[in-house]
Amino acid sequence: MNNLILLPVFIPFVAAIIGLIFRTLPVQRTLGLIGMAAATISAILLLNVVMEQDYLVLSLGAWQAPFGIVLVADLLSAIMVLISCIMGILVMLFSVQSVDNARQKTFYYPLYSMLIMGVNGAFLTGDIFNLYVWFEVMLIASFVLISLGADRAQLEGAFKYMVLNLVSSLLFLAGAGLLYAKVGTLNMADIALKLAIQPDSFLINSTAILFLISFGVKAAIFPFFFWLPASYHTPPTAISAIFAGLLTKVGVYTLMRSFTLFFNQSFEFLQDILLILAALTMLTGVLGAAAQYNIRRILSFHIISQIGYMIMGLALLTPLALAGTVFYLVHHIIVKTNLFLVGGVIEKVKGTGELSKIGGLYRALPFLALLFFIPAFSLGGIPPLSGFWAKFALVKASIDAEVFWITAVSLIVGVMTLFSMTKIWAEAFWKDAPEETENKVEPKTLKLMYAPIAIMVLMTLYLGLFGQGMFEVAERAADQLLNPEGYIQAVIPQSTEAISKL
């Protein structure tokens, strides 16, 4: 049996439970860290196995698909689980020093473990209702985390975040209900099979739009993005960093999964919508960022514009475009989390993230400047950093597909992203400090905050300089997405005959 696939979900859960029973901070913290480390190791093993066997399927409770709930790991899932576990452990390390003790004591570590469990579950599940459950696990943990400590500003942000995400969950449930009423199954592979045998464009298109809106809210694409900049700058940095890195990407992942598996036959209709949304998402994100003067707000808007690139890759739906999207996802998760963490160090040392009130950090904290420089310019797409290769693949794919206007948009947005990053660089690091402010904490004591950032910078450098291996894996993942027969066959072995008739 393939119980291995369960471990990235199971281990954080057990760590969270034991933390609930022994309610002291040292226990919760140690367990949380050990749990995340163990989950990361299991995710590495999982990726290794999936690289060899292509698909790994586990029928929970030994109830065979399509009746029971299955967990399925293909390459995309395995890559996403691994990256979420790595970010999980690094940001958790960061939060040991950065999150204040009062917040840490209110179940911070168990909640954090539950959040990672929900994210991993959403990546691995092969059942559409189960996906809804994982969304809820993730959301409930994130609702508590985002409002932990109950600042006034924080609660306002949390409220917007919560209402919009609940609406999106409802829309998703409506879409899943529509599908279930028509095809009578919740298993994702089985739905794909039934839709392939009996295409029903009316059902497919209406469900597709419901899913697009619902996952679009979670991924923060245009015009559903406004909850994100309203809430991501309010909680402690560690929390907004892990949200920024992972949560919107779950939305992107589910969009990729559902559009390649269910809706691939009526894709012409959806393609134009997706392309236009992608372009608008890129533009609004980057323009919104230009107007902001708070580090975390600027970075929040950039999440949106970067999501646009991933949607663009999905909309093009060529092997190169999808491979580019997978590579982009990995690159973006690392770089974005990294930038939020650097912003967190600045806020910790200077007490604020307002660009007008800080300056001279290049002289004061040269090492931090380096740690900011690399991910920031990777995000801007400067060769040879990872962002360049991700953007290069997508731009080339759009030229190959002869959709030149989106090429133009993506290039313009790339330049504007660079402008935003230079703005932070010039304001926070380069210009003279407005007044000589004392450091709130001695930067040398923040070793546990620097270490995760440095590791992420090394990962960015590695992806940039030796990205070939990662790109090959991304190409294989894209190949799997474009040929959903393999996925269906892995989940429902008896479907071979039905597939061959198609």
Q: What is the DSSP string of 241-257?
A: HHIIIIIHHHHHHHHHH
Instruction: Kindly tell me which of 59 and 420 has the beta carbon lying closer to other proteins.
Output: 59
Instruction: Kindly tell me which of 62 and 291 has the beta carbon lying closer to other proteins.
Output: 62
Lookup result for tokens 């991993």: 120
Q: Taking the complex as a whole, how short is the minimal distance between the CB of residue 10 and other proteins, in angstroms?
A: 8
Q: Taking the complex as a whole, how short is the minimal distance between the CB of residue 353 and other proteins, in angstroms?
A: 34
Q: Taking the complex as a whole, how short is the minimal distance between the CB of residue 123 and other proteins, in angstroms?
A: 17
Lookup result for tokens 């901070």: 25
Dist. CA 61–CA 67, nearest whole Å: 11
**Three-class DSSP category at 132:** helix
Instruction: Kindly tell me which of 3 and 483 has the beta carbon lying closer to other proteins.
Output: 3
Instruction: Kindly tell me which of 69 and 295 has the beta carbon lying closer to other proteins.
Output: 69
Q: Taking the complex as a whole, how short is the minimal distance between the CB of residue 138 and other proteins, in angstroms?
A: 17
Instruction: Kindly tell me which of 114 and 488 has the beta carbon lying closer to other proteins.
Output: 114
Q: Taking the complex as a whole, how short is the minimal distance between the CB of residue 464 and other proteins, in angstroms?
A: 39
Shortest CA distance to 9 belongs to which of 115, 89, 117, 109?
A: 117
Q: Which residues pair with 369 in a beta bridge?
A: none
Q: Taking the complex as a whole, how short is the minimal distance between the CB of residue 39 and other proteins, in angstroms?
A: 15
**Which amino acid is it at 286?**
V
Instruction: Kindly tell me which of 3 and 201 has the beta carbon lying closer to other proteins.
Output: 3
H helices of 184-316, where?
A: 188-197, 201-219, 227-231, 237-242, 248-261, 267-290, 295-316
Per 3-state DSSP, what percentage of the chain is helix, strand, and coil (rounded to 5)? Answer: 80, 5, 15
Shortest CA distance to 325 belongs to which of 227, 233, 263, 410?
A: 410
Q: Taking the complex as a whole, how short is the minimal distance between the CB of residue 475 and other proteins, in angstroms?
A: 32
Catalog residues that contact other proteins under the rule CB under 8 A: 1, 3, 6, 10, 13-14, 17-18, 20-21, 23, 58-62
279 φψ region: left (φ > 0), alpha (ψ -120 to 50), beta (else) = alpha
Dist. CA 95–CA 186, nearest whole Å: 38
Instruction: Kindly tell me which of 23 and 363 has the beta carbon lying closer to other proteins.
Output: 23
